[in-house]
């Protein structure tokens, strides 16, 4: 509605004079949020996905991002790709053992982080998807995930007036079809490149690692790098890491039908591993410590077990600490706070300016997001409780878990002291609590104190909520 | 690649021109479309998708709801042993044909443009070649929204037969055969058929047509005898292999036409 009025204004304004229109055009051009330029980081192999057939443009990327976050892609409009792939979790899903689909059903496997997909020869834990562009058909069609058909989605997008212009701008001619939809999505997902961790800085000679981190890197290279090969931290092979003597999930066999592939899963990248809990194809481990314990003494013998793990990976407590320190250097803060990848609510993110109000955006790509650099995120832990605070779109979301079992803590009375205010959090089911973001000033770091009561607990945790730089 | 694709583009443009001109021969390329027409039957009966019961030689009964399949990679063999390769564009689904037993218009299509000459055989793939099968999002005949794309695995369903059978072991007595895949268990089959006594003559004076017959009964009767009670559902490449071997024998050449056209071929 608002937009069409703006376009009307634009039409009137164009009548005023060509020279002023040209000036405004120039300014508007500069306001376009560019797509990230796809570049192969130094010393990385050539990507698998060929952007030549689907060159990334600002308009195509913006369309892909809108589709990625559009819940119309699910049958009942309840979940989008972004529901199970959250940017702050490196596009994995925080706290969800397996993905949650339409109607609240549980999926079969853990939603993996999404980054460096352009290098990935196959997608999904079992490698069922062999091409980045067609991969979305799998979660879209899965009755436990989005439960929708591609042809229904195309009908919905055609009926949604906000899309016609975006498709035309992205592909040059009018028309909405599945190829364009999937290619726009690939422009977005293929652009999710994570290559700015502290480890990358260290490799480039720009960053120093601590003694523990350096020792951890050495341990990593001795014990883990055979499968989690640098620089992508996976060799994209399918292996059994001995989670069970007999895997319930057939894994790779479901694709190849080879009996010897039963219980094999894709070796996941370890980049951003500190952010993508829970771990393994079924999300059985919630903490990296548990993963290291598994390799130390929990590896189950079976004919499928990868020979490299026949003796497990025994590590003493100091080595585990060092390895964990190193794994934390694989977190890419720039990636998870890159606003170009964030969900954007166009209605709320138009840059307030006179020009903008008169001429309006010429396209979706002109609509500026509130250019917040960084996204406040804070993890607070006590002996019993783990709280993860994340500034999502309109809320400060607090995920509360029992620290030991990592089960969600439901029914808590949770209040937050921040900037001399007391804010009560509303529970949103499953140990998730929300406070409207408008009540908090995120522009600067602030001391925050949380009081929680319930489930036999009563305690206070405090920390500093990092500020978000505004552009 | 560069010159190849521009060649293909030129060819596509020529075909488009020919189609717009009512399938008239292209003056530029001096080449002509060849029509393919497919008639479906079940043994000696016409194929109906209305619950009509058919019987296999082994005595199993079945009815058919859907029969759809892809044909691609057409080639025509000249009487001198050389081949005309039907162009397939990387940018469009040109050269790939989705045939649906329920849609009359899908059963007649032109291949070409074919250079003048005498052709004695036709070859085609039932299915999609591995390169195109894994080439990402496609459109036109290859649009995955057409329901011929697997949802548990990224790849096309090459051949789909769905129906019912009292002998089916599935709950609702359903009969479901989906063929697809790549590699050794691929359900794609390459078929060569000699045109028989009468070759087709491609030139400005005649309009050549090849009528193929597809006998769906062969799905159960070919090189492998399929008992419906033992195989009611095949929805993976591996499970579909014996059916794919039978599907390879579905087609035969019914007859060919060399229809004389008026001197002014472009006339309506």
Please write the tens of the pLDDT for every residue from A84-143: 999 999 999 988 888 888 887 888 899 999 999 999 999 999 999 999 999 999 999 999
Question: Is pLDDT at A355 greater than 50 in this prediction?
Answer: no
Which is more confidently placed, A347 or B164?
B164
Torsion angle defined by CA atoms of residues A271, A276, A280 and A285, in that order, rounded to the nearest 10 degrees: 130
**% helix / strand / coil in chain A, to the nearest 5?**
35, 15, 45
Query: A2-11, A244-253, A347-356, B140-149 — which is least confidently predicted?
Result: A347-356
Average pLDDT, chain A: 85
Q: Is the pLDDT of residue A356 over 80?
A: no
Tokens 């077990």 sit on residue? A305
Q: Which of A374, A396, A400 is nearest to A448 (CA)?
A: A396
Burial (CB count within 10 angstroms: exposed 0-12, middle 13-18, buried 19+), residue A38? middle
Q: Establish how many alpha carbons lie within 13 A of residue A11's alpha carbon, considering only the half-sphere containing its beta carbon.
A: 6
Please report the pLDDT score of residue A424 as a whole number: 84
Are the C-beta atoms of B38 and B97 separated by less than 8 Å? Answer: no
Residue B144 has pLDDT above 60, yes or no: yes
Q: Give the C-alpha separation, A232 to A114, whole Å.
A: 13
Between β-strands A457-465 and B189-194, what pairing exists: parallel, antiparallel or unpaired?
A: unpaired
User: In a mutagenesis test of the B interface, which of A117, A130, A173, A254 is the best target, namely the one with the most B β-carbons within 10 Å?
Assistant: A130
Helix (H, G, I), strand (E, B) or coil at A61: helix
Residue of B5, B145, B156, B239 best to disrupt the A interface, most CBs of A under 10 A: B145
pLDDT at residue A377 in the model: 75
DSSP 3-state of A431: coil
**How near does any CA of chain A get to the CA of B70, in Å?**
18
Instruction: Give the separation between CA B165 and CA B63, rounded to whole angstroms.
Output: 6
Query: Mapping DSSP to helix (H, G, I), strand (E, B) and coil, where does residue B230 land?
Result: coil
More confident residue, B5 or B221: B221
B210 within 8 A of B110, measured Cβ to Cβ? no
Provide the shortest C-alpha distance from residue A121 to chain B (in Å). Answer: 11
Would you call the peptide bond into A432 cis, given omega within 30 degrees of 0 as the criterion? no
Phi, psi (deg, nearest 5) at residue A253: -60, -30
pLDDT of A8: 41
Tell me which of B242 and B24 has the higher pLDDT: B242
Look at residue A220 in the predicted model and tell me its pLDDT. Answer: 98
Chain B partners within 8 Å of A64 (Cβ): none
Which band of pLDDT confidence, cut at 50, 70 and 90, is reported for residue A469? low
The two most distant CA atoms of chain A are separated, in Å, by: 78
CB–CB contact B147 A179 (8 Å): no
Concatenated DSSP letters for A202-267?
HHTTS-PPPHHHHHHHHHHHHHTTTTS-TTTT----EEB-SS-SS-SS-BTHHHH--GGGTTBEEP
What's the confidence (pLDDT) of residue A345? 52
Whole-angstrom distance, CA of residue B165 vs CA of residue B173: 5
Q: Cα B41–B44–B49 angle (5° rounding)?
A: 35
Q: Give the residue from A409, A389, A393 showing the smallest Cα distance to A452.
A: A409
Residue A453: band (very low, low, confident or very high) from pLDDT cuts 50, 70, 90: confident
Residue range B183-207, pLDDT digits in tens: 889 999 999 999 988 899 999 998 9
Exposed/middle/buried for residue A311 (C-beta within 10 Å: 0-12, 13-18, 19+): exposed
Lowest-confidence pick of A13-22, A231-240, B47-56: A13-22
Range from A67-71, A368-372, A439-443, B262-266 carrying the lowest mean pLDDT: A368-372
B91-114 pLDDT, tens digit per residue, is: 899 999 999 999 999 999 999 899
In sequence order, what are the residues at sequence separation of 6 or more whose Cβ sits closer than 8 angstroms to the Cβ of residue A241?
A: A280, A294, A295, A299, A305, A306, A309
Please state the φ and ψ torsions of residue B202, each to the nearest 5 degrees: -100, 115
The residues that bridge with B252 in the sheet, in sequence order, are B213
**Shortest CA gap A65–chain B (Å):** 17
Residue B37 CB burial class (10 angstroms; 0-12, 13-18, ≥19): middle
Q: What is the pLDDT of residue B262?
A: 67
Of A128, A132, A178, the CB nearest to B144: A178
pLDDT the model gives residue B263: 54
> Which letter does DSSP use for residue B152 in this model?
S
Model confidence, pTM: 0.77
In this prediction, what percent of chain B has a pLDDT beyond 90? Answer: 78
| Contact of B259 with B202, CB cutoff 8 Å | no
Confidence of residue A422 (pLDDT cuts 50, 70, 90): confident
Per residue in A201-254, pLDDT (tens digit) is 999 999 999 999 999 999 999 999 999 999 999 999 999 999 999 999 999 999
Say if residue A285's pLDDT is above 80. Answer: yes
Q: Provide the ipTM.
A: 0.83
Q: What gap in Å lies between CA A99 and CA A84, rounded to an integer?
A: 6
* Strand intervals (E) in chain B: 32-42, 45-46, 54-55, 61-78, 83-85, 97-100, 108-114, 117-126, 157-164, 174-180, 189-194, 200-202, 206-215, 233-234, 251-260
Asked if the model's pLDDT at residue A6 lies above 70, the reply is no
User: Does the distance separating the beta carbons of B145 and A138 come in below 8 Å?
Assistant: no
Average pLDDT score over chain B: 89
Question: What is the average per-residue pLDDT within A37-44?
Answer: 94
For residues B36 and B108, the answer to whether their CB atoms sit within 8 Å is yes
| C-alpha–C-alpha distance, residues B210 and A181, integer Å | 37
Which positions in chain A touch B137 (Cβ < 8 Å)? 133-134, 178-179, 181-183, 186
Q: A-side interface with B, Cβ within 8 Å?
A: 53-54, 128-135, 137-138, 141-142, 149-151, 154, 177-179, 181-183, 186, 254-255, 257
The 10s digit of each residue's pLDDT in A182-202 is: 999 999 999 999 999 999 999
How is residue B66 written in tokens? 């859907």
């Amino acid at each position: 509605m608002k937009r069409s009025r703006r376009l009307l204004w634009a039409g009137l304004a164009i009548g005023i004079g060509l020279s002023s229109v040209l000036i405004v055009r120039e300014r508007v051009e500069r306001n376009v949020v560019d797509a990230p330029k796809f570049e192969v980081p130094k010393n990385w192999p050539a990507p698998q996905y060929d952007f030549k057939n689907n060159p990334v443009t600002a308009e195509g990327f913006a369309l892909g991002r809108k589709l990625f976050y559009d819940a119309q892609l699910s049958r009942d409009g309840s979940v989008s790709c972004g529901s199970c792939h959250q940017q702050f979790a490196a596009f994995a899903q925080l706290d969800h053992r397996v993905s949650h689909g339409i109607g609240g059903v549980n999926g079969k496997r853990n939603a993996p982080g999404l980054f460096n997909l352009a290098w990935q020869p196959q997608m999904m834990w079992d490698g069922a998807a062999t091409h980045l562009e067609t991969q979305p058909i799998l979660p879209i069609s899965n009755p436990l995930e989005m439960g929708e058909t591609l042809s229904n989605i195309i009908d919905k997008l055609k009926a949604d007036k906000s899309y016609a212009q975006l498709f035309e701008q992205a592909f040059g001619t009018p028309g909405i079809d599945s190829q364009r939809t999937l290619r726009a999505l690939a422009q977005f997902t293929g652009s999710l490149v994570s290559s700015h961790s502290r480890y990358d800085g260290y490799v480039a000679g720009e960053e120093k690692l601590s003694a523990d981190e350096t020792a951890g890197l050495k341990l990593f290279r001795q014990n883990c790098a055979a499968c989690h090969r640098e620089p992508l931290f996976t060799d994209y092979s399918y292996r059994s890491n001995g989670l069970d003597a007999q895997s319930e999930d057939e894994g790779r066999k479901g694709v190849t039908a080879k009996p010897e592939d039963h219980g094999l899963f894709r070796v996941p990248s370890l980049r951003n591993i500190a952010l993508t809990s829970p771990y393994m194809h079924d999300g059985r481990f919630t903490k990296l410590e548990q993963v290291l314990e598994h390799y130390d003494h929990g590896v189950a013998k079976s004919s499928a077990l990868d020979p490299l793990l026949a003796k497990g990976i025994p590590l003493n407590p100091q080595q585990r600490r060092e390895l964990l320190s190193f794994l934390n250097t694989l977190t890419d803060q720039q990636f998870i706070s890159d606003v170009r990848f964030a969900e954007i609510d166009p209605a709320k993110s138009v840059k307030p300016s006179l020009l903008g109000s008169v001429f309006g955006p010429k396209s979706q790509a002109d609509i500026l997001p509130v250019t917040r650099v960084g996204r406040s995120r804070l993890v607070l832990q006590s002996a019993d409780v783990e709280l993860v605070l994340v500034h999502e779109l309109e809320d400060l979301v607090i995920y509360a878990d029992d620290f030991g079992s990592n089960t969600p803590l439901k029914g808590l009375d949770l209040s937050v002291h921040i900037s001399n205010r007391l804010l009560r959090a509303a529970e949103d089911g499953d140990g998730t609590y929300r406070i409207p973001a408008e009540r908090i000033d995120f522009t600067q770091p602030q001391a925050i104190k949380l009081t929680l009561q319930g489930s036999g607990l009563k305690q206070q945790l405090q920390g500093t909520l990092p500020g978000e730089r505004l552009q | 690649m560069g010159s190849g694709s521009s060649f293909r583009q030129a060819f596509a443009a020529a075909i488009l021109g020919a189609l717009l001109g009512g399938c008239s021969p292209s003056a530029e390329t001096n080449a002509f479309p060849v029509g393919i027409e497919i008639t479906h039957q079940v043994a000696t009966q016409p194929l109906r998708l209305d619950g009509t019961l058919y019987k296999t030689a082994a005595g199993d009964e079945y009815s058919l709801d859907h029969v759809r399949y892809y044909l691609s990679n057409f080639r025509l063999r000249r009487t001198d042993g050389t081949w005309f390769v039907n162009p397939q564009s990387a940018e469009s689904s040109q050269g790939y044909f989705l045939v649906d037993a329920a849609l009359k218009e899908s059963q007649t299509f032109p291949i070409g443009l074919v250079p003048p000459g005498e052709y004695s055989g036709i070859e085609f793939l039932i299915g999609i070649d591995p390169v195109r099968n894994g080439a990402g999002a496609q459109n036109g005949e290859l649009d995955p929204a057409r329901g011929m794309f697997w949802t548990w695995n990224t790849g096309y369903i090459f051949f789909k037969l769905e129906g019912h059978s009292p002998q089916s072991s599935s709950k609702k007595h359903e009969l479901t055969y989906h063929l697809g895949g790549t590699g050794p268990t691929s359900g794609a089959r390459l078929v060569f058929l000699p045109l028989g006594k009468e070759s087709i003559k491609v030139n400005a004076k005649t309009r050549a047509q090849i009528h193929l017959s597809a006998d769906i009964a062969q799905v159960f009767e070919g090189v492998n005898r399929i008992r419906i009670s033992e195989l009611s559902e095949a929805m993976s490449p591996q499970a579909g292999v014996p059916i794919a071997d039978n599907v390879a024998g579905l087609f035969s050449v019914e007859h060919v036409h060399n229809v004389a056209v008026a001197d002014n071929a472009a006339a309506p």
